[in-house]
Each structure stands twice: as C-alpha cells, then as structure tokens.
A and B are shown apart, each in its own frame.
Chain A
Amino acid sequence: MIHFLQPASWSEALAMKAAHPEAMPIAGGTDVMVEINLDLHRPAGIIDLTRVPELTEWGTDDGLLRIGAGVTYSRIINELGDRLPGLAMASRTVGSPQIRNRGTVGGNLGTASPAGDAHPPLLASDALVELASNSGTRRVPAREFFIAPKRSARRDDELIAAFLIEPAAGPQQFSKVGTRNAMVIAVCSFALAIDATRKRVATGIGSAGPTPIRATDAESFIEGVLDEGRLWERPAEVPTSAVTRFGELVAAAARPIDDVRGTAAYRRHALAVLARRCFTWAWVDYRRMGAA
C-alpha cells in the first residue's frame, strides 16, 4: 500500500523527502493521479505538498520574480499575466479550467516532460529552477534542468521550491500545435521572448526533441539581422527572407520523432511556421512599443 506523508511546512517537507527519497511529491496531482490511475506508476509513498504554505507564494528576489512551485496556472494567468505574458499564454493552453486550477508549474517541472507547456517560456526567459534539500539550496538554469524525456537535474532527495524569472522586458509569444482546439498535449510548441533592454531574442521549443530546446542558432541569426539593420533603434519591418530563415533555423534546432501525436517532418514544418508567426507578432508589438 502507498505510504502517505503530509508535511505542514517547508522544513518538514524537506525532512520527509530526506527520510523517504523514494516518496513521490504531489502538488496539483494532475500528472501523478493520472499515472496512478493508468497503472503506469505505483509510488511507494506520496508526499502531499498542498499543505505547505511557502510553495504557493510568489514575490521578488533581487529583480527576479520568485514563484513558488505550487502556484497554479490559473494564478499565473490572473496574478502575473502582465509581467510574464509568455508564461501566461502557455498557461492558458494547458488542459481545461479544472486542470489550470490545480496544475502547477512546479509539477510541470517535476514531470519534466518534453511536452510540458511551461518549459519553452521558461527557457526563453532564462529562468532558474530552485531545488532544495536538507543539505542546501541550488538554482539551476532551465537550460540545464532538462536532461532527457522525463529526467531532470533534480536529485531524489530534492524538492522544487520555486522558479525565478525576470519580468518581461519586451514582447513575448507562445504557440502550440495540437490536433484538438483545446485540451491537448502539444504536437510541438514554441516560445519567443524579446528582451528590449539587452537587445536579445530568446526561444524555447517544446515537444520536438527529448527535452525542451533552445534554438540558439536562430537566436543569434535574428539578433544579427536586427543589430546589422539597426532595427532595435529604428524599428522597421524585418525582411521576410530573414523571418523565414529564422523559422528554418528554429526547425533545424528541433530533434523531433514520429509518434502518435504527429510525424517528425510535420513537427519541423510546423515549428518553422510557428517561429515565423511568433516573431512577426512580437516584432509588431515591439515596433508599437517603440512608437508609443
């Protein structure tokens, strides 16, 4: 039978995890309960984190937003949508209202599925994942957090405390392809963040590789185009050929496979389209910002 633990505070949670590294944390349960129901996973124990107040809080930490692992998608949309538009857009595509009311970004990171919708915007914003155990706390860049399908840098004795992310410093976009108009796991997804202050363009690809991926070649290519044309200062349209090339480079960065949700070829094709469209929408916003 499953051993059930219910810490009432963060320190108690860490102590329990140290004593029972095999026990599985549960937050919203929207991944855990499905796995149990489908008999895919029988954890020896469960640590219920929903009574830990620290996990559901968010605040600022040295210019970054520090968001507790237990903050739900609904709260991200409602409370942080203006500061984190990319993550909020991704959150809006997660499941249904019921799932968004229970599901958390911490849980998404805990599962570390390549299809997790929170991951591409976290990559594009260079977020940090805060991991904690009885022996200390460390902050791992999202870029280094994902290791393989459903495997992350988190050790067995660690819990995810929070993630840290900069408030948007420019337009952000997120797009996801699914074969249903709602409540669908991504066939592929794409996040884009324009950092107007540092003059950077950052990306995140979801569901088209063993982990979420950054399209770094595409980023430097389009930054080159923007720098060279002095388009940051004098926001004009970006040549179509450059936007198309950006899309191609995003597609090239993906490492998709054929599976029940789609073919590798389609995923690459769709990523090129999404990247083009997201950049175009974001750039229109950037130009509008400049005009204002």
Chain B
Amino acid sequence: MKPRLAPAATVTGRVGENVPRPDGVLKVQGGFPYSSDLQVDRMLWGATVRSPHPYARILSIDTSEALAAPGVRAVLTHEDVPGKRVYGLEIPDQPVLAFDVVRYWGEAVALVAADHPELARRAAQKVHVQYQVLAPLTDPEQALLADAPRLHPDGNVTRHVKIRHGNQDARAEVVVTGEYEVGMQDQAPLGPESGLAVPDEEGGVDLFIATQWLHVDREQLAGVLGLPPDRVRLTMAGIGGAFGAREDLSMQAHACMLALRSGRPVKISYSRPESFVGHVHRHPGRLRYEHGANRDGKLVYVRARIVLDGGAYASSSTAVIANASCFAVGPYRCPNATIDGWVVYTNNPPCGAMRGFGSVQNCYAHEAQMDKLAEALGMDPVELRTRNALETGSQMITGQVIDGPVPVAELLRRIKERPLPAASDPGSLDLTTQPGGVSNTTHGESVRRGVGYAVGFKNVGYSEGFNDYSTARVKLSVVGGRPRVEVHTAAAEVGQGLVTVQAQIAGTELGVTDVVVLNADTRVGSSGSSSASRQTYITGGAVKAACDAVRRRVLALAELELGRKTGKTDGLRLERDSVVSADGREIVSLTTLLGDEVIEETHEFRPRQTTRLDPETGQANAHVQYAFAAHRAVVDVDTELGLVKVVELATAQDVGKAINPQAVEGQLEGGAAQGLGLAVMEEIQLKDGVIRNASFTDYLLPTILDMPPLRMDVLELGDPHSPYGLKGVGEPPTISSGPAIVAAIRAATGRPITRVPVRPHDIVET
C-alpha cells in the first residue's frame, strides 16, 4: 500500500546551467503532494498528548477513558515502546515518550490513533496524566552553577569546548569588550512535521516521511521499534522546507509504533503550534567577548565565553557548540585565542540544528566587536576587517591551516565598492519604502539611514572525525529508444535543489539528455544528512564517482567494439547521447552501443578525513572545507518609533563553482531573508519555559515587503579538493546578513544594540 508521491521527473541540464526545479510548477499550482497530504485506504490518524509543564514528575498516566473514546484504535505510553526508550543524534537522552519526568513544555507523553484526526485529538484530551510540578530551570547561566538541579544524570553541561591558541596571557594596546545576546529562532519550515507509517504483514514497517537524513532516522527507529534495520524502510515524502528542524526524530517513531500496534496505516501531521514544540530550535546564546589589538589594527587576541542554551535534550548541541567555538573570532587571523564554549541543559525547548549551526550566534558578537574595535582605533570598519582577514595558508584558532581560496578580503572589497542605493525620499508617500511600511507611521519624520558590514564563515560537511560519506547508484540503459540515466540516492531534497544538482552532474558526466532522479529511499546506501551545506559536495561527489565508473564501462565497451573495427580508441568521450571522438565527432550512439545492456554502478564518496578537537586545547584539523560570505546592509530607522526598514542588502560569496546558478541565487536570497528574520523579528518568546508565541500570528517571519532587493556577487574560485571545485552554499548567507543589518541599525541610531532580534523598544529608550 503506497501513498501518492511526487512523480520522478526527467531533468535535462549540464553543470553550470540554470536548470529549473522539476517540482516548481506543481508547487506553485498546488498539486505537489507534501508529506501532510499523504493518504492511503484504512488510514488512521495519530495525535500526541503533550506535557503542559516545562518540568514535572509523572505520577501516573490513565489511558482508559481515551481507549474507550469513539473511533480510537490505540493509545500508547512509554510502556509500549518496543525497543530503546530513548534516542538522540549524538547522545541518546530523549525519551520516545516521557517516563518518570517531563523536561520541557510540549514534550510527548502519550499517543492516540483514531479513525479521524478530530477523534484522535479529542481522545488525546482524555488521557489523564498526573504530574507533580517541579520548578523549571530555564536560565542557562544558572544551569552551570554547582548547586543547580541536575536535569540529566551526568549534570547540566552537554559539552564544554576549550580552545587555547597561542599566548594565553597576551596583552594589547587597544582592548574592547562586549556582551551579546541572541534569541531563540525557529526554522519555521512551511511544511509541518508529517508522515505516514504503513505496517507490513511481517511485523516490519514502511515510513513515508519528510526528513533530512533517511538512514539516521532508520537507525534510531530500528532501535526504538526493536526491529532489524531492514524491516524499517523509509521513503522520502514531499517536504516543505527543513533548515535543520528535521534532523531529529519528531513523529517518526510515534507513527510507526501506532501502525505496528493497530495493524493499520497511521498518519501524523502536526499543526503549526505543535510544530513549535515538535522540533528543535536555534540555540539562544549569551556571548561575552574581549578583543585586543595593536594600534595599527592587527588583532592580538580574542577571549570569548559563549553559553548556548541547549534546552531539555542534547540533539546536535555538542556539534553546534564546537562550531560556535571554532568560528568564534570570525574569519580573521588571530594569533592568540582563549575560547570557552558551553552548551547546557535547561527546561527550555530543545535546541539543535539550524542553518548556520553555531556560526550565526557568534557572528553577531565578533562582528559587533570588530565595529567596536574600529571605532576605538578610529579606523574604517571594512579596512579593519581586511587587515585581519584570513587568507590562503592562514592558521585558524584551532591550528588548522586553511588551504584553497580564502577570499575574505575580496568579498569585503566587493560589497564595499558596490554603489549605495539612493537616499530615501523624505517626502515619499509610497509607504512601502518607509519604516513601518503601509501602516502609515512616518512620512519621513525621524528616519535615519545606516550602513553596516559583516562577514562570516563556517564549515562545510561533517567535522571532528565524523565518517562523512554518501552513496550513489547510477544506471545507464536504453528506454524507448533513447539512452536514459537513473540516479538513485538516499539524499533528501529539502527544497535546496539537490534533484537538479544530481541530474546535472549525471548529465554532464555521461553526456546524456534524459536523467531521472529517483525518489530518495533506504533501498540504497546512506547519503548522510541534507545539512552542513554538504549535499552538493558529498552526494554530488558520489553521483560523479558512480558516473565515472559507468563511463569507464561504457567506454570500455566502445573501445572493444571500435577497436575491433578501426583500432582507434584514443580520447573517446560521452556527449550528445553518443560516444564521440576526441575532436567531437559522433562515433556511435549510446542507443546502438548499449542495446539491451544495462550498466549500473554504486559508489561511495568521502571527503578528506578530519580529527576531533583536543579536549584541552581545541586544536585539530577539524573541518573539511570553509565557506565564506559577506553582507552589506542599508537600513532606514524611524528613531522615534524604533521601526526598521531594510532598504538593501548586498552580498558577495565564494561558491567555488555554481552548479545551478539560479538555485545558488535562491540560496543567497532565502538565507539572507532568514538572517534578516533573526535580526529584526523572529524570536520564540519564552516565559518560565513556556512558549508564548507558538503560531505565525506572533512568531513573525519576514514578508516580501520586509525583504529588500539583494545585490549578489557570486564568485567561483574553485576549491582544489572538491568536485568541480564547488563549495557548500546554503548556510553562509544566513550568517552575516543579520549582523550586517544590526551594524546598520547601530550606525543609524548610535545605540549599542547588543541583542537580537532588535525590538522597537531596544532602539527607543522608554
């Protein structure tokens, strides 16, 4: 029994060409089957009973009334978990269903499956849980104190990263200090968590799911369900964005458990408010910095203490704090550094992966510090950055020497030299150009312009010794009289454009017009996660490697054929659906050459190996590749009302090689918008561990009227280590866009602004 999924489309295009998404038209017309649309006969609907307390002891759970409710087919608690009761990406600390205690508001406690979603929701209200409410620990600084209640057996510190680089007692002529705070951002993917679990006859299960990494879901599910991995089969369903929110399990195990118990297909689809507690968020952070520099503006040292609030469970916190620490000083040469990065457990909602992954929080701090330092030195802020910019061969504070292009100074030069937009017209009654927009708050009164700059960087791919790899299967055969390539991987298309990338690579390597990218599933080996800006690099690399192997076999076949006939086989290539000679003449069409032959190859691709951070010094070759972007923001601020209009953003980013330029532009646009969101409006507001704005009514995302034009400079400098020289593209736009906007707000208002998102009352003293 299979639900309708998006059809596998034929894609034509070469590396470097603009290739439209095959699902674009369907999505715009409303015909794309998202995971929330999944449907099969006899399907039940699951609902989740959630904790109304951020911290409480579970005294009892009474399911009898819910079980007796109309249409109910199953009600489950932690006692019904068939296998492991806890799971987690790095540390298995999160209960599938809470037992003994609940550690955050909205934690899953019980499950209901019923004939109709409404019946399931009503029955969920009839599960009676008795709690003994405990005082929640919601301040990460308090969580660090020795006498704080321990939320987990090993204490509240999920990880402490220490970086000790150079002279720990360095002194400098000019010193600036600052404290910064970053609020909790939500990934807010438009598609809520949803999926459909279909039990088979033999006690196994098929899960149709919108996720970022099918195989890591499967590994965790097999453990939870107590099944061998091959009895748990996952198929990618239509996804509505991810941004890190789908790295952890949400409803996967729940739907499978209900399906296995009821013997019926079970679908779970979260509502928006439920989605806010159904996935991890970006870590809020408090960052304390001290920068020391020479009078000529050379950085002497940076000392930083970074505390991230990991919330109730570990998720990917340990990797996020590693990034926050490794990139703490920004893309600058800094001979001496003392960094302490902490991530701690609290009773706030769990935090984990989100686009930028630890590099976003610290960028707000190091860029504010660079501006402060420039001011203390009386130096232009871009000049100061340029003077300290990392270059090829520079050493990171982790001791790693960065190879390949490191165009930090060049990126800064490009955004700086771009002409500024025209001054705002104070008399303009086109309200969309004014801070406050159509709400008619100013006709130019108190509007000041500001310009700000920021640059950031982060790692591409998995770090710290992780065995990063991807698997691709490529099949070449003749279908309907034409050669056709099928690419099959388990890599998740999350909206970033991976389907076209895979097709373009196969089309380029095999010279074939028709490329079909099969829907991702677990019938092929792991591709790793669609995160860390890594898929084009790693899965792209795997597709290329598999294509290389296919091509070798095709050419061997051709040589065999031709060698027999002509003896001339030098420099044969695949192009235009044919084997062509070195000078491009068609020798034989693939259709003729292959006949009934099917050539299939499966290959794994691995980037270079990394190593773990030394626990005492944080020194290591911890990262595969570094990606850089810079932004300039121009803002108009109504200084009396504290309202901000971002007038223009300009960016320069080195993408190594733009495989699909229009998709690259999409990433630069979307990433900048997400950065803008955190800078000026997006925040999950918490009070005593409870989310106060768990809906799009009050969790504000930027609209088209908030996002300004983005001027882009896409550099293709070519990394010698990666396929086609490409660099990961997805995350850098989210890192420096927000800090540039905040710098511009500071420039416009003269106010220090040390917290994001910037609220009107932070600009206006009241």
Q: Which residues of A contact B (CB under 8 A)?
A: 1, 34, 37-39, 89, 92-93, 96, 173-185, 187, 189, 260-263, 265-266, 268-270, 273-274, 277, 281
B294 at the interface (CB under 8 A from A): no
Q: Quick check: B432 and A39 within 8 Å, CB to CB? A: no
Specify which chain A residues have a CB less than 8 angstroms from the CB of B764 in the assembled complex. 266, 269-270
On chain B, the residues within 8 Å of A89 by CB distance are 440
Segment among B225-233, B568-576, B690-698 that sits at the interface with chain A: B690-698
Distance of A39 Cα from B124 Cα, bound (Å): 13
Q: State whether the Cβ of B761 lies closer than 8 Å to any Cβ in chain A.
A: yes
Closest Cβ of chain A to B355, distance in Å, is 20
B440 & A263 in contact (Cβ 8 Å cutoff): no
Interface members, chain B 667-712 (any A CB < 8 Å): 680-681, 685, 692-693, 695, 697-698, 700, 702-703, 705-706
- The answer to whether B437 and A179 have CB atoms under 8 Å apart is no
Decide if B705 touches A179 in the complex (CB within 8 Å). Answer: no
From A184, A260, A262, A281, B439 is in contact (CB under 8 Å) with A184
Asked if B78 is at the interface (CB within 8 A of a chain A CB), the reply is: no
Taken residue by residue from 633 to 647, chain B's Cβ proximity to chain A (1 for < 8 Å, 0 otherwise) reads as: 000000011110100
Whether B761 and A266, one on each chain, are in contact in the complex, defined by CB atoms closer than 8 angstroms, is yes
Q: What A residues does B692 contact at CB under 8 A?
A: 260
Residue of A173, A175, A273 most packed against chain B (CB within 10 A)? A273
Residue B413 lies at the interface, judged by CB distance under 8 Å to chain A: no
Say whether B698 contacts A261, CB under 8 Å: yes
Count of residues in B whose CB is under 8 Å from the partner chain: 39
B760 interface residue (CB < 8 Å to A) = yes
Shortest C-beta distance, B370 to chain A (Å), equals 27
Asked whether any CB of chain A lies closer than 8 Å to the CB of B441, the reply is yes
Task: Evaluate contact between A179 and B766: CB separation under 8 angstroms.
Answer: no
With a cutoff of 8 Å between Cβ atoms, the chain B residues found around residue A277 in the complex are 441-443, 445
What are 18 A-B residue pairs whose CB atoms fall within 8 Å in the complex? A37-B271, A38-B695, A92-B440, A175-B439, A176-B439, A176-B441, A178-B436, A181-B437, A181-B703, A182-B439, A183-B705, A189-B439, A265-B761, A266-B766, A269-B766, A270-B642, A277-B443, A277-B445
A177 touches B643 (CB 8 A): yes
Given contacts A39-B121, A93-B439, A277-B442, contact A180 B766 (CB under 8 A): no
Q: For A93, list chain B residues within 8 Å (CB).
A: 438-440
B271 CB contacts on chain A under 8 angstroms: 37-39
CA distance in complex: A269, B642 (Å): 11
Using CB atoms and an 8 Å cutoff, list the residues of chain B in contact with chain A.
118, 121, 271-273, 432, 435-443, 445, 640-643, 645, 680-681, 685, 692-693, 695, 697-698, 700, 702-703, 705-706, 759-761, 764, 766
Please state if A175 and B440 are interface contacts (CB–CB under 8 Å). yes
**New A-B pairs, 7, CB < 8 Å, besides A180-B703, A261-B698, A273-B640:** A93-B438, A181-B438, A181-B706, A260-B698, A262-B759, A262-B760, A270-B641
Residues of A within 8 A of B642 (CB): 266, 270
Say which residue of A173, A182, A184, A263 sits within 8 Å of B761 (CB atoms): A263
Do B702 and A180 touch across chains, with their CB atoms under 8 A apart?
yes
In the complex, which residue of chain A has the Cβ closest to the Cβ of B687?
Answer: A260
Q: How far is the CA of A182 from the CA of B121 in the complex (A)?
A: 34
In angstroms, Cα B431 to Cα A92, docked, is 11
Contacts of A262 in B (CB 8 A): 759-761
State in angstroms the CA–CA spacing of A38 and B761 once bound together: 29
A182 vs B442: C-alpha distance when bound (angstroms): 14
Q: Which of B441, B681, B703 has the most CB of A within 10 A?
A: B441
Partner of B760, one of A39, A176, A179, A268: A179
Contact present for B432 and A181 (CB under 8 Å): yes
Report the separation of the CA atoms of residues A177 and B695 in the bound assembly, to the nearest whole angstrom: 20
In angstroms, Cα B705 to Cα A39, docked, is 30
Q: How many angstroms from the CA of A270 to the CA of B439 in the assembled complex?
A: 13
Asked if B273 and A38 make an inter-chain contact with CB atoms under 8 angstroms apart, the answer reads yes
Cross-chain contact B438 with A182 (CB below 8 angstroms): yes
Contact between B705 and A181 (Cβ–Cβ < 8 Å)? yes
Assess A273 versus B641: contact at CB under 8 Å? Given A39-B121, A182-B703, A265-B766: yes
Q: List 5 A-B pairs, minimum CB-CB distance, nearest first.
A: A181-B437, A266-B761, A265-B766, A176-B439, A182-B705
Q: List residues of chain B with CB within 8 A of the CB of A174.
A: 440
Given contacts A260-B698, A270-B641, contact A182 B440 (CB under 8 A): no
Query: A260–B693 contact, CB under 8 A?
Result: yes
CA distance A176 to B437 in the complex (A): 10
What chain B residues lie within 8 Å of A177 (beta carbons)? 436, 439, 441, 641, 643, 760
Q: Can you name the residue of chain A whose Cβ is closest to the Cβ of B443?
A: A281
Question: B137 to chain A: closest CB distance in Å?
Answer: 22
Q: Are B697 and A34 in contact (CB under 8 A)?
A: yes
Chain A CB within 10 A, most for which of B642, B680, B760? B760
CB distance from B374 to the nearest CB of A (A): 29
B447 nearest CB across to chain A (Å): 12
Chain A contacts of B706 at CB under 8 A? 180-182
Contact A38–B272 (Cβ < 8 Å) = yes
* Beta-carbon contact of A179 and B681 below 8 Å: yes
List the B residue with the shortest CB-CB distance to A264: B766
Whether A183 pairs with B703 at a CB distance below 8 angstroms is yes
A274 x B441 contact (CB < 8 A): yes
Given known contacts A180-B703, A182-B705, A187 and B760 CB-to-CB distance under 8 angstroms: yes
Q: How far is the CB of A9 from chain B (nearest CB, A)?
A: 31
B698 / chain A contacts, CB cutoff of 8 Å: 185, 260-261
Closest to A268 in B: B766
- Give A83 Cβ to nearest chain B Cβ, in Å: 19
The distance in angstroms between the C-alpha atoms of A198 and B593, with both chains bound, is: 93
Given known pairs A38-B272, A182-B703, A262-B761, the reply for A175 and B441 (CB within 8 Å) is yes
A163 to B273, CA, bound (A): 35
C-alpha spacing A1/B272, complex, angstroms: 22
Q: How far is the CA of A266 from the CA of B438 in the complex (A)?
A: 20
Tell me which of A37, A176, A182, A265 has the highest count of chain B C-beta atoms within 10 A of its own C-beta: A182
Q: How far is the CB of B640 from chain A (nearest CB, A)?
A: 5
Min CB distance, B106 to chain A, in Å?
A: 14
Once bound together, how far apart are the Cα atoms of A189 and B700, in whole Å? Answer: 18
**B683 nearest CB neighbor, chain A only:** A260
B700 cross-chain contacts in A, Cβ below 8 A: 179-180, 184
How far, in angstroms, from A24 to B343 measured CA to CA in the complex? Answer: 49
Tell me the complex Cα distance, A274–B442, Å: 8
Complex: A34 Cα to B271 Cα, angstroms = 12
Question: Known contacts A182-B705, A185-B698; is A270 also within 8 Å of B760 by CB?
Answer: yes
Taking a contact as CB atoms under 8 Å apart, the answer to whether A173 and B440 are in contact is yes
CB distance from A270 to the nearest CB of B (A): 6
Q: Smallest CB-CB separation from B680: which chain A residue? A: A179
CA distance A118 to B761 in the complex (A): 25
Q: Which residues of B have CB within 8 Å of A183?
A: 703, 705
User: Residue on B with the closest CB to A278?
Assistant: B440
Give chain A nearest CB distance to B273 CB in angstroms. Answer: 6
A172 to B693, CA, bound (A): 34
Across the interface, which residues of B come within 8 angstroms of A261, CB to CB?
A: 698
Query: Across the interface, do A178 and B766 meet the contact criterion of CB distance under 8 Å?
Result: no
Contact A182 B437 (CB under 8 A): yes
- Which A residues touch B681, using CB under 8 A? 179-180
Q: Which residues of B are found within 8 Å of A175, using beta-carbon distances? A: 436, 439-441
Q: B645–A181 contact, CB under 8 A?
A: yes
Q: How far is the CA of A270 from the CA of B643 in the complex (A)?
A: 10
A187-B764 Cα distance, complex, nearest whole Å: 14
* Closest A residue, CB atoms, query B116: A1
Taking the closest CB of chain B, its distance from the CB of A203, in whole angstroms, is: 16
- Cα A180 to Cα B759 with chains together (Å): 11
* Cβ-closest chain B residue relative to A184: B700
CA distance A175 to B272 in the complex (A): 30
